[in-house]
């Protein structure tokens, strides 16, 4: 029986086959550094636009991505994560281009990246960085995608879920590392995972804690461990007013 990740990757490979084999850098948007925005003396927030998920179904069906993006920036987000997978997350690549025109903070494209063609497509649309799920690619392909990102001068948030990848993460020593406490097979979250894994992370990387956060108290606790930034999506979107919820969290962090 296929788990969520297997199903998503199967569809993603089919989508990649439809992308042009050869393309050029054709970007008209200024680049903003995610790395620089997350280096701070306070908890940095990457606020995510996610309308749907495989495990929960619709989270916020009638949401306007442009309004949410502007509200996130006004509420104090340091960056915005945009889901671009359509079939499983109701995302759209066009969201990036539209959002890029209305905000002044970095945009992180979140998808299931397997090919350089996907990276270039998002970069040309205005993504400032992309999230690479280490659990979803081979080590060889991960290195290849990171090398390609360096060539086109974009940034990578290298994310891992399973502790099985910790040795490879240390080998990569990425500038930005994402630790996701969500089990990709069951889609359940476990915030205690951050404490168990922290001492094994590369020392100089900007460290992003992902998934499962609903309160400022949870964020403060993990920030005190040594994490620099937090990617929050579902708990914001579920309220129906993501910007207001983020504003409440940011206010309580200060």
d(CA 29, CA 126): 6
pLDDT for the residue numbered 187: 76
**How far is Cα of residue 220 from the mean position of the Cα atoms in its chain?**
20
The pLDDT of residue 2 is: 56
Whole-prediction pTM = 0.95
> SS3 helix, strand, coil % of the chain, rounded to 5?
45, 20, 40
Cα(26)–Cα(53) distance, rounded to whole angstroms? Answer: 31
Positions in the chain short of pLDDT 50? 1
- At the second CATH level, the architecture of 31-253 is Alpha-Beta Barrel (3.20)
Q: Going by DSSP bridges, is the β-strand pair 52-53/229-232 parallel, antiparallel, or unpaired? A: unpaired
DSSP class of residue 83 equals E
pLDDT digits (tens, 9 = 90+) for 154-178: 999 999 999 999 999 999 999 999 9
Active centre residues (catalytic): 48, 50, 110, 159, 180, 210-211
Kindly state the tokens that stand for 141. Answer: 């392909």
Rounded to whole angstroms, how far apart are CA atoms 65 and 30? 20
Dihedral pair phi/psi, residue 102, rounded to 5°:
-120, -5
């Amino acid at each position: 029986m296929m788990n969520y990740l297997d199903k998503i990757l199967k569809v993603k490979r089919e989508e990649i086959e439809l992308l042009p084999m050869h393309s050029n850098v054709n970007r008209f948007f200024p680049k903003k550094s995610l790395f620089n925005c997350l280096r701070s003396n306070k908890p940095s927030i990457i606020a995510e636009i996610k309308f749907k998920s495989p495990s929960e179904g619709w989270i916020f069906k009638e949401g306007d991505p442009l309004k949410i993006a502007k509200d996130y920036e006004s509420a104090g987000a340091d960056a915005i994560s945009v889901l671009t997978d359509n079939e499983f997350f109701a995302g759209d690549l066009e969201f990036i281009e539209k959002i890029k025109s209305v905000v002044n903070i970095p945009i992180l494209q979140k998808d299931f990246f397997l090919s350089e063609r996907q990276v270039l497509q998002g970069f040309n649309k205005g993504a400032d960085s992309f999230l690479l799920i280490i659990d979803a690619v081979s080590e060889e392909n991960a290195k290849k995608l990171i090398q390609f990102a360096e060539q086109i001068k974009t940034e990578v948030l290298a994310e891992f879920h399973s502790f099985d990848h910790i040795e490879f993460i240390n080998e990569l020593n990425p500038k930005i590392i994402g630790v996701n406490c969500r089990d990709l097979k069951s889609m359940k979250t476990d915030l205690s995972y951050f404490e168990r894994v922290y001492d094994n992370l590369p020392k100089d990387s900007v460290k992003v804690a992902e998934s499962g956060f609903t309160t400022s108290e949870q964020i403060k606790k993990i920030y005190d461990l040594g994490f620099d930034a937090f990617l929050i999506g579902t708990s914001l979107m579920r309220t129906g007013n993501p910007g207001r919820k983020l504003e409440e969290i940011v206010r309580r962090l200060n």
